[in-house]
Chain A
Amino acid sequence: MIRHNAKAARWVLTAPLFVFLALAVAYPIYYGIKTSLQQRSLLDPVPSWAGVDNFTAVLKDTGFWHAVSFTLKFTVVATVFEIVLGFLLALLMNKHFPGRKKLLSFLIMPVMIAPALMGVMFRLLLNSDIGIVPALLDKVGISISLFSNDTVVPLLMVLDVLQWTPFAFLLFYSGLQTVPQELYEAASVDGAGYFRTIRSVIIPLMLPILFITGFLRAIDAFRTFDVIYILTGGGPGDQTTTVSIYIYKAFATGNFGTASAAAVLAAILMLPLVPVVVRRLAAPETKATR
């Protein structure tokens, strides 16, 4: 049912969007790739052609590979815990009990807090002089430095889980709401207990949502910057430098060429995932939680 005036209208309606996309997406991508092939820095502002020099420099840098492996480790561990804990919490919240509505709002509050501000609050919470957590640990006789070499990585994972389990929970919870009550009843008529029903009925039904949520969490964890940068600045040493922090450090020290090359490499690392995104996120039938 295309109307006769629609042909003109669709150009008029999309023109602003396309102009914006060209200026804000296409041109920066082009510019970023161009910069990655240039010798360009704060001290050396007139760009000159560098070929693949920046790329070989980044690829030879052990710091870059350390950042990649730390980021991957961080992503996998945090995502797995967030999915498992979020799902358990969703199951717990899926039955009626007093005060559930208000507790739901309470549980998802961290999702609405800017990670950077969360980072500042974590600093307060974990501060060795005035923070609640060190004080509590002290009370029970544990005196460890939370930001030492041994503890900093697990600590950052715990903090990520603390902030983003509510996100996973929220998506699972709303997914569980769409499971018809009859399914539970049918399973119970067939003699399935609670855990059997979860395993054989609920989990298979929820698999697409579990997958999408895990995927969304993973790509966001992989790009993590704010909280870790505010808490550790990537240290001690470069122990907690994520890929984003690595690129930012190169940028902040004025090495625009190397920073851009590292950014292009980070984008290339994500390329294998493009088909997954395209299939899962853009396909209309997987809007499961609507």
Chain B
Amino acid sequence: MTTTTPYAPATTSTDRPLRARKHRRPWWKTAVVLFIGLIINLPLLSAVLTSFKSDADISRSPLTVGLHFTLDHYRNVLAGTTYDFPKYFMNSVLISLGAVVIILVLAVPGTYAIVRLGFGEKHLLRAVSSLRLMPAIFFAIPFFLLYNSLGLYDTVGSLMLVNAFLNLPLAILVLAGALRELPIEIEEAAFVDGAGTYRTLFSIVLPLLAPALVAVSVLVFLFSWSDYLFAVILSSSNATPVTVGAGNFITSTGILWGDISAATVLSVLPPLCFALFAQRYLVSGLSVGAVKG
């Protein structure tokens, strides 16, 4: 992982010891950072290791790397009849994608009007950021009572709506920040050329906003996938996502650590790939919104 390097260690220049020392140090740093990374990622690494070990190896010793490499646990989780894992997984995918779509449809035009068309920008953005302070569980109870009386309890659609709501403040703040940085002259030029507000928004502004749209999509997907509190409160079986489903494994079927590990690793993968792929968009989004708890 760390052996690829764009430049060779310059330890060969023996006539200039000072320079040599300067160039040797970075490798030492690589080792230190790698070690820190291993510690930080120990939970994931241990889950990955366990998921490929046979049950006998798992119970024998946690410190041996699997003697018998096996894919049984993945087979159990994906194709076995004991768990509903594929359903949990699909629910997570649907809930997260649904939340992204709802957010983009609501927040993009809304934020544009708020920032560019003079719609009380200051107050609205302040109100929206204050929402971050509300403990999420404050909303969970009314949602539970309301969804119950509306017959929306334990449906995928209702969890999409909830996650859209949870991430709306973040989306608005990211989009507002990006909009403010677009030069307004472009929109004025479009207007002079005869484009109306809608035309300007969809043909001129939207393409320029593309990076922010990606950032919002990645973050909303990530956070919707991560939601646990609302899923626990608002679903019981039909709409259960992986975060709750993975926890179910522990209590319902005895403790089959191999299967649990495989399920957890599979559940971690989609947002991880998605986010690593769009890593540079993460930072701008995280700094305004950060993670829900």
Asked if B109 and A277 make an inter-chain contact with CB atoms under 8 angstroms apart, the answer reads: no
Residues of B within 8 A of A223 (CB): 135-137, 292-293
A21 to B130, CA, bound (A): 14
Please give the number of chain A residues whose Cβ is less than 8 angstroms from any Cβ of chain B in the complex: 111
Q: A9: nearest residue on chain B (CB-CB)?
A: B197
- The answer to whether A25 and B117 have CB atoms under 8 Å apart is no
Is B271 in contact with chain A by the CB < 8 A criterion?
yes
- Contact check, B264 vs A117: say whether CB atoms are below 8 A apart: yes
B290 near A167 (CB under 8 angstroms)?
A: yes
User: How far is A170 from B40 in the complex, measured between Cα atoms in Å?
Assistant: 14
Given the complex of chains A and B, what is the CA–CA distance between A132 and B287 in angstroms? 34
Q: Using a CB-CB cutoff of 8 Å, which residues 1-49 of chain B contact chain A?
A: 1-7, 9, 25-27, 29-30, 32-34, 36-37, 39-44, 46-47
Q: How far is the CA of A158 from the CA of B257 in the complex (A)?
A: 23
Q: Could you tell me the distance in whole angstroms from the C-beta of A236 to the nearest C-beta in chain B?
A: 18
Counted as pairs of residues, one from A and one from B, with CB atoms less than 8 Å apart, the total is 345
Chain B contact residues: over half helix, strand or loop, or mixed? helix
Q: Tell yes or no: A220 within 8 A of B by CB.
A: yes
Docked-complex contact A103 and B34, CB < 8 angstroms: yes
With A2-B117, A20-B106 as known contacts, state yes or no: A95 contacts B198, CB within 8 Å. no
Q: Could you tell me how many residues of chain B have their Cβ less than 8 Å away from some Cβ of chain A?
A: 117
Q: Which chain A residues have a beta carbon within 8 Å of chain B's beta carbons? A: 1-3, 5-6, 9-10, 12-14, 16-18, 20-21, 24-25, 27-29, 31-32, 35, 89, 92-93, 95-100, 102-103, 105-125, 127, 129-136, 139, 162, 165-167, 170-171, 174, 209, 212-213, 216-217, 219-226, 230, 243-244, 247-248, 251, 256, 259-260, 263-264, 266-267, 270-271, 273-274, 277-278, 281-282, 284, 287-290
30 contacts across the A-B interface (CB closer than 8 A): A2-B117, A16-B110, A20-B164, A24-B168, A92-B32, A98-B26, A102-B1, A103-B2, A109-B272, A113-B272, A114-B228, A117-B267, A120-B246, A120-B249, A121-B47, A124-B47, A124-B264, A125-B43, A127-B257, A135-B63, A174-B283, A219-B132, A225-B293, A226-B228, A226-B229, A251-B144, A263-B138, A264-B138, A266-B138, A289-B284
Q: Please report B residues at the A interface, Cβ cutoff 8 Å.
A: 1-7, 9, 25-27, 29-30, 32-34, 36-37, 39-44, 46-47, 50, 58-59, 61-63, 105-107, 109-110, 112-114, 117-119, 122, 125-126, 128-146, 161-162, 164-165, 168, 173, 177, 180-181, 184, 188, 191, 196-198, 201, 222, 225-229, 232-233, 242-244, 246-247, 249-250, 257, 260-261, 264, 267-268, 271-272, 275-276, 279, 282-284, 286-288, 290-293
